[in-house]
């Protein structure tokens, strides 16, 4: 060993005190400080926007979880509902909701009179603006399911109209009413007067979570429940198809396939597919599943198939990554005691990779759950106004909607009441996504690194 070529360190070098950092060190330290500041600034910006987003979502959407109801005692007049007096269900069914509307208006009018509230509204018909159009249908359903109620006075909790609801939530202001044909200032006075008696009140609205969509004119009765079922069926299809296909494909590619030009090509293409815009998958689904295979439009089956195509690359990539992360020594150990390739994969490698595969699958599902664009192309925006179970009788093939598509639908509609519901839908969707991602994180934490 000779080090004659190295400069002898001790002689030429100036002696520097350790107490005073030299210029170079100071520069390095400054650079480090700057870098830290950039990082903190980046994170702070991210957190700021996250808070803005959450606050705006919650403040705009919280209203959808509350709804204004009116409590009335409706006299189910036999003269109007059952003219022949024979309680024949068929004849009762012939009376449409228009037959019920006057009864409800009368009931509310009576209530106003009873409580001695003074109002310039002198006719029972003037109550129309306060009552939701779906109230009549609600009472009609009750009467048809129980015709014996006819002739009695029954207490009902009916939906208030969306204007009244908006007034109570601060969405409808008195200034706006001047130009509004649907409601007058007198109505709002009446609402104010009725509130202390508990006749009009705002309560938690379960129907928003469980209910079906409603027509443009009755935002107050629209719910996301049916779309939730549509999303559930789609996720079922996605899970059942993409997990086995994705895992089988990854195991083959990772453990069995020869490494050659073809597998390289496949690998590149899978990576590319993961980056393809989702609307392209929608067009593909439209062309293949609906136009070529003639599967029904708006069906969760088709939506699920399209989302499966979209989720597969995600699942394959994450599964391959977690298979790769299993140390090769485990494979050697299994082969060394005489396990076949298949046994070594299924007995040892796959169980170790399972948490990673599950995490990838859940994240893929969460991505699919929030996907909107491909669903619009295959018509997964069905308008289902009847509640479960009517609307989902045959599940996978019946037309349905999905949560994100439903939110998009609501956001498009004119009535600001629907806008509120769109935000409410986003809260529910986000709730699902956050819980799915939490499950993924918990699974990863719990089962990770067992070797």
Q: Does 120 bind another protein (CB under 8 A)?
A: no
Interface stretch with another protein, choices 48-56, 158-166, 294-302, 347-355 (CB under 8 A): 347-355
Residue 329 within binding range of another protein, rule CB under 8 A = yes
Helix, strand, coil share of the chain (percent; to 5): 70, 5, 25
In the complex with another protein, which residue's Cβ is closer, 76 or 358?
358
259 binds another protein (CB under 8 A): yes
**Which of these ranges, 15-23, 117-125, 328-336, 428-436, lies near another protein under the rule CB under 8 A?**
328-336
In the complex with another protein, the residue whose CB is nearer, 180 or 332, is 332
Helix (H, G, I), strand (E, B) or coil at 402: coil
When the beta carbons of 113 and 340 are compared against another protein, the nearer one is 340
Q: How far is CA 358 from CA 16, 83, 413, 430, in A?
A: 58, 63, 38, 20
Q: 73 has which bridge partners? A: 155
Binders of another protein among residues 352 to 371 (CB under 8 A) are 352
Please select the residue that binds another protein; options are 336, 386, 434, 448, rule is CB under 8 A.
Answer: 336
Q: Examine residue 389 and tell whether it contacts another protein (CB under 8 A).
A: no
Task: By CB under 8 A, name the one of 196, 244, 327, 431 that touches another protein.
Answer: 327
Which of the stretches 47-55, 200-208, 323-331, 391-399 binds another protein when contact is defined by CB under 8 A? Answer: 323-331
Q: What is the largest CA-CA distance in the chain?
A: 122
Q: Is 187 in the site for another protein (CB under 8 A)?
A: no
- CA 255 remoteness from chain centre: 37
Give the shortest CB-263-to-another protein separation in angstroms.
11
Nearer to another protein, 31 or 342 (CB): 342
Q: Least distance from C-beta 347 to another protein, angstroms?
A: 7
Judged by the rule CB under 8 A, the positions of this chain that interact with another protein are 258-259, 327, 329-340, 343, 347-348, 352, 450-451
């Amino acid at each position: 060993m000779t080090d004659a070529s190295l400069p002898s360190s001790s002689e030429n070098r100036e002696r520097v005190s350790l107490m005073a950092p030299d210029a170079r060190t100071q520069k390095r330290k400054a650079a480090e400080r700057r870098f830290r500041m950039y990082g903190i600034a980046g994170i702070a910006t991210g957190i700021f926007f996250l808070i803005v987003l959450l606050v705006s979502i919650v403040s705009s959407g919280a209203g959808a979880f509350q709804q204004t109801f009116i409590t009335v005692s409706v006299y189910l007049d036999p003269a109007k509902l059952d003219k022949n007096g024979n309680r024949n269900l068929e004849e009762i069914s012939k009376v449409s909701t228009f037959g019920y509307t006057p009864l409800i208006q009368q009931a509310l009018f009576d209530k106003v009179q009873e409580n001695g509230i003074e109002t310039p509204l002198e006719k029972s018909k003037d109550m129309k603006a306060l009552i939701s159009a779906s109230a009549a249908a609600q009472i009609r359903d009750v009467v048809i399911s129980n015709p014996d109620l006819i002739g009695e006075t029954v207490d009902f909790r009916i939906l208030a109209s969306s204007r009244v609801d908006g007034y109570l939530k601060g969405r409808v202001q008195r200034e706006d009413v001047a130009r509004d044909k649907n409601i007058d200032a007198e109505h709002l006075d009446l609402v104010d007067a009725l509130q202390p008696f508990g006749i009009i009140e705002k309560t938690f609205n379960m129907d928003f979570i469980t209910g079906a969509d409603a027509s443009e004119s009755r935002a107050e009765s629209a719910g996301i429940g049916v779309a939730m079922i549509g999303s559930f069926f789609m996720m079922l299809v996605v899970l059942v198809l993409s997990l086995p296909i994705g895992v089988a494909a990854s195991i083959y590619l990772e453990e069995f396939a020869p490494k050659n030009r073809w597998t390289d090509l496949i690998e590149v293409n899978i990576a590319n597919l993961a980056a393809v815009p989702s609307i392209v998958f929608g067009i593909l689904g439209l062309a293949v599943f609906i136009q070529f295979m003639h599967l029904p439009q708006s069906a969760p089956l088709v939506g699920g198939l399209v989302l499966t195509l979209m989720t597969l690359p995600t699942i394959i990539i994450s599964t391959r990554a977690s298979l790769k992360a299993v140390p090769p020594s485990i494979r050697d150990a299994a082969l060394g005691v005489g396990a076949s390739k298949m046994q070594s994969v299924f007995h040892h490698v796959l169980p170790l990779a399972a948490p990673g595969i599950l995490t990838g699958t859940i994240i893929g599902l969460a991505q699919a759950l929030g996907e909107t664009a491909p669903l619009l192309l295959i018509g997964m925006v069905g308008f289902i106004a009847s509640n479960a179970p009517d609307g989902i009788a045959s599940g996978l093939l019946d037309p349905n909607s999905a949560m994100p598509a439903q939110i998009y639908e609501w956001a498009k509609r004119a009535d600001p009441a629907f806008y509120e519901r769109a935000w409410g839908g986003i809260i529910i969707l986000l709730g699902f996504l956050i819980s799915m991602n939490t499950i993924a994180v918990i699974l990863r934490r719990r089962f990770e690194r067992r070797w």
